[in-house]
């Protein structure tokens, strides 16, 4: 797996909205966490497990029309993004308050590796 998917006991940059996580919080259980949290923390096996159980998760719109690929992009989870795309995630899905794509999320948050990855998979720049 890619080094950017290694997990540590740190809270990911963008915890689930409304959560009470802080830097003193321990990691969630990788075997029971929801799919968004699994993506944020890089729990690759859990993401696979949840998507295999419900394949529509890859294209489902979450709050603010955000997709799982948006979450993978902003948390720099390359392997998870690759998996989501292989399962039908729309690379140019528009979502969030800024009505933007996963590529824009990666660029805006300075995720160079993710930006290059998404561009290599054909993400549109306009």
Number of domains in the chain: 1
Q: Which residue has the tokens 């963008």?
A: 14
How many other CB atoms sit within 10 Å of the CB of residue 44?
A: 19
Mean local confidence (pLDDT), 24-43: 88
Domain membership of residue 57 (yes or no) is yes
In a domain, 95, yes or no: yes
Residue 125: inside a domain: no
**Does 126 reside within a domain?**
no
Higher pLDDT, 15 or 97: 97
Tokens of 90: 């729309």
DSSP-H helix ranges across 5-120? 35-41, 44-53, 68-74, 78-86, 102-108, 112-120
CB count within 10 Å of CB 61 equals 14
- In eight-state DSSP terms, residue 98 is T
Mean pLDDT of 6-29: 54
Q: Is 26 contained in some domain?
A: yes
pLDDT, averaged across the chain: 86
Give the total residue count for the chain: 126
Domain annotation covers residue 87? yes
Q: Domain of 99: which CATH number?
A: 1.25.40.20
For residue 44, the enclosing domain spans 3-120
- Is the model's pTM score more than 0.85? no
């Amino acid at each position: 797996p890619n080094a950017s998917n290694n997990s540590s006991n740190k809270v990911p940059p963008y915890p689930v909205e409304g959560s009470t996580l802080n830097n003193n919080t321990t990691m969630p259980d990788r075997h029971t966490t929801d799919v968004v949290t699994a993506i944020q923390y890089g729990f690759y096996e859990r993401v696979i497990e949840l998507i295999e159980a419900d394949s529509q998760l890859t294209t489902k719109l979450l709050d603010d029309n955000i997709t799982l690929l948006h979450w993978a992009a902003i948390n720099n989870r390359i392997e998870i993004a690759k998996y989501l795309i292989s399962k039908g995630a729309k690379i140019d899905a528009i979502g969030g308050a800024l009505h933007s794509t996963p590529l824009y999320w990666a660029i805006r948050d300075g995720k160079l590796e993710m930006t290059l990855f998404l561009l290599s998979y054909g993400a549109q720049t306009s």
